[in-house]
Structure 1
Amino acid sequence: MEVFLRTLGDPGFQEGIGVDIGVNQSTVSRSLISVSEAIYRKRNNWIQFPNTNELLAAAMNKWVNIKQMPRVIGIIDCTHIKIIKPSFHGEEYVNRKGLCSMNVQATCNAKEIFTSVDTSWLGSVHNSRIWRNSLIYGIMNNNMQEAALLGDEGYGVAPWMLTPFRNPTTAIQQNYNLVHARERVIIERCFGQLKRRFPMLNYTIRLKTERIPKYIVSAFVLHNIAKHLLDPYNDFDPIEIEAHPNEQMFEGNQAEIRNRGTLLRNQLAENMFYNAIN
């Protein structure tokens, strides 16, 4: 898998492979793109977000059997994948660090399996905007199981989005933040494993811009397959995941959603604290 994705994203490496097997670089490139397309078509078999009340309830049960935070089904975050600056609308791909990238949103479960991935956004787009326009936002917003995702403080707190307390001042808030950080780190491990397993995702993808989203999704699919096959080579060193600036936006009923989320978080934090000391 590693060789496949490295070759797909590196024309120079493709040329070397072509020399080894007696074909030209363009033939290698076409073959790799064909394989990538085949993997991409299998994405719904390997990347599955719980999208019914029954599946959400089952996901919550699985989480609480492994972890401590109640009502959670997974973690959400974004990671930037660097690309060559496109000639068309190239400035829109430039992120806040001045690098050209795509901002990829993903969710994962407690077993470090990706449950969703969205590769449709440019590097300049903030995480919170991607979240509000994603398919899984609608699922979480309308779920009847009171299920929630864990997110960093760049996401707005909501009944279905549990974020940490900013500047916690009480033992209850500090305990909640400690548990939150310990469990949210799973998504960072997943991104780290993905980028160690497929190094081109940690450097710069050198493909036509329109091909990159499918290439990235193929890597997520192969990551999940590796997990399914109990790939022993999964103890990768962590890769630093950048902190995202806070850009919460609350308009209209969003303020009411924030208030409901804040009340829920307070209640959960209190219950977790007293359960821990009893």
Structure 2
Amino acid sequence: MAPLRNRRCCLKSLIRKHSLLASVFENVNIILNCISLLKPQREVGDAVGDSSDLLHSTNMLVQTVFWAVAEWRLTSPRQKLCWCYPRRSRWFHDTVFQFWDNGQWIENFRMTRQTLFEIANVLRPYLMWRDTVMRSAVPVEELVAIGVYFLVSRSCYCTIAHVFQKGTSTIASVVVEVCLAIEHTLLKKEVRVMDFSKMLSSMRKHGFPHCLGAVDGSHVLITPPKKEVQAYFNRKSFHSILLQAACNGDGIFFSMLAGHSGVNHDAHVFRSSLLYRKMEEGSLIPGNPVFQYGGVSIPPLILGDGAYPLCKWLMKPYAVPKNDRERHYNKIFNRSRNIVERAFGRLKARFRRLSVRMEAHIQNVNSIIASAVILHNICEKKKHFIPDDDTELHITPPTDEINPPDIEHTRGGSDRKEAEAIRSAIADYLFNHVK
């Protein structure tokens, strides 16, 4: 009986010590039933019977424990362990937010703290993140700062993640969310026709009469979709999306279109724009007022280079000026149209992301471009300067650049004659009144 009693004690101590078995055998009746299986069924003197009964009882105990553990694992809830990478610091809140002056804000974000916080308040309904069991949500102001810093810098996601002490995937998702929110919320408010009289006066100071502004296109480098590589390969021998925009005399954009592949001609993209349709209908400016000179009615005008068609409302230079009058017209025209090239130069100097290759989905690239134009307008209106080391305005194209063909004779018939008459009247006005 002594060996049997020892085995019973060992089983009891094993059950007590093993936490898993202890949790399984919470019911005392189960433990007692398991131990009772070890009791001998024959007389004590029958050694053979005692041995066989003990072996049989031990096997039954093992099976009972096995199935009990299996059932416990299947039915009992298991506590999951949550782990997240700890944030190392609150750099934006503790340093930037607290101690940077306006000069440092403009140098790093191209806008003052007040301007960025005003934008954050507008975007707040679209960028409110929720707290989780692992950590608190990133403040909206910091989300906007991440998006703006991405546009300002040429750095990759990993570098920006290191600056803001966030994960790389978090930075990538924040950039897309912020740019989409800016486009959705502020595009129609910031990129639109403002006061008609102010637009005319802003162009008049450059010398051109009854003019709203100038239009031009700029290529933004991209990584093309694998199935459409050739569709985005432009005449300058790289892959791009074409940004076409029109600005007033102060360099503020009032119309923009992004998304057409770089292989498209400027005139083709322009014809597909809302600006073109409204100018054709005469509905861009209420009442479409005209300017009379030399018996010719001149509608509100827009200036474009040789890539654009000559229309009654779209002026372009003389391809081959024949006299002093036409040369003088070209001189004033180029001086006035250069405002859009300078505007593109400031746009790319302010938001340098537009001057490097975009590693993003095409639709996201369009939103990134649109958000840069929107923020550029806000900064221009608030007179935020661009740091001197970033004001590299690429206004004059390289001598080996392949210019688009002049399409002087795109439009014909009465439209062609009316457009020529308007350009001739403007040439007379400039030759007689503007030096």
CA distance in 2, matches of 1:196, 1:93: 24
| Alignment partner of 1:115 is 2:261 | no
CA distance in 1, matches of 2:306, 2:162: 50
CA distance in 2, matches of 1:193, 1:230: 12
CA distance in 2, matches of 1:138, 1:20: 45
| Alignment partner of 1:263 is 2:421 | yes
More displaced 10-residue stretch of structure 1: 55-64 or 68-77: 55-64
Partner AA of 1:13 in structure 2: C
| Alignment partner of 1:141 is 2:300 | no
| Alignment partner of 1:175 is 2:328 | yes
**CA 1:128–1:255 in structure 2 vs 1: closer, same or farther (change >3 Å)?**
farther
Of 390, 393, 401, the match for 1:238: 393
CA distance in 1, matches of 2:241, 2:278: 24
Cα deviation for residue 20 of structure 1 reads: 4.5
Of 130, 152, 159, the match for 2:269: 130
| Alignment partner of 1:67 is 2:206 | yes
Structure 1 residues 151-170: Cα deviation after superposition (integer angstroms, max 9, x where no partner): 11111111101100112121
RMSD: 2.5
Task: Return 5+ residue gaps in structure 1 as ranges.
Answer: none
Cα deviation for residue 46 of structure 1 reads: 0.7
Whether the aligned pair in 2 keeps the contact of 1:9 and 1:206 (CA below 8 Å) is no
- The match for 2:170 is 27
CA distance in 2, matches of 1:60, 1:240: 23
Whether the aligned pair in 2 keeps the contact of 1:140 and 1:160 (CA below 8 Å) is yes
Cα deviation for residue 14 of structure 1 reads: 2.2
Larger of the two Rg values belongs to structure: 2
Of 349, 359, 372, the match for 1:219: 372
State TM-score, norm by structure 1.
Answer: 0.88
Q: Percent identity?
A: 24
- The match for 1:85 is 224
Partner AA of 2:215 in structure 1: I
Cα deviation for residue 175 of structure 1 reads: 0.8
**CA 1:258–1:244 in structure 2 vs 1: closer, same or farther (change >3 Å)?**
farther
More displaced 10-residue stretch of structure 1: 3-12 or 155-164: 3-12
State TM-score, norm by structure 2.
Answer: 0.58
Number of equivalenced pairs: 271
Partner AA of 2:161 in structure 1: G
Task: Return 5+ residue gaps in structure 2 as ranges.
Answer: 1-108, 111-145, 283-287, 290-298
More displaced 10-residue stretch of structure 1: 68-77 or 2-11: 2-11
Whether the aligned pair in 1 keeps the contact of 2:158 and 2:168 (CA below 8 Å) is yes
Whether the aligned pair in 2 keeps the contact of 1:6 and 1:200 (CA below 8 Å) is no
Cα deviation for residue 16 of structure 1 reads: 2.8
**CA 1:10–1:182 in structure 2 vs 1: closer, same or farther (change >3 Å)?**
closer
Whether the aligned pair in 1 keeps the contact of 2:232 and 2:239 (CA below 8 Å) is yes
Structure 1 residues 35-57: Cα deviation after superposition (integer angstroms, max 9, x where no partner): 1122112111111036xxxx656
CA distance in 1, matches of 2:412, 2:149: 43
CA distance in 2, matches of 1:224, 1:103: 19
Cα deviation for residue 24 of structure 1 reads: 1.6
Partner AA of 2:189 in structure 1: N
CA distance in 1, matches of 2:395, 2:180: 30
Cα deviation for residue 133 of structure 1 reads: 1.5
Cα deviation for residue 127 of structure 1 reads: 0.4
**CA 1:193–1:40 in structure 2 vs 1: closer, same or farther (change >3 Å)?**
same
Structure 1 residues 253-272: Cα deviation after superposition (integer angstroms, max 9, x where no partner): 74432221111101110122
Structure 1 residues 172-225: Cα deviation after superposition (integer angstroms, max 9, x where no partner): 111111000111110110111111111221121111122100100000011101
Cα deviation for residue 59 of structure 1 reads: 3.1
CA distance in 2, matches of 1:245, 1:24: 44
Structure 1 residues 3-56: Cα deviation after superposition (integer angstroms, max 9, x where no partner): 745636989632233344443211111122221122112111111036xxxx65
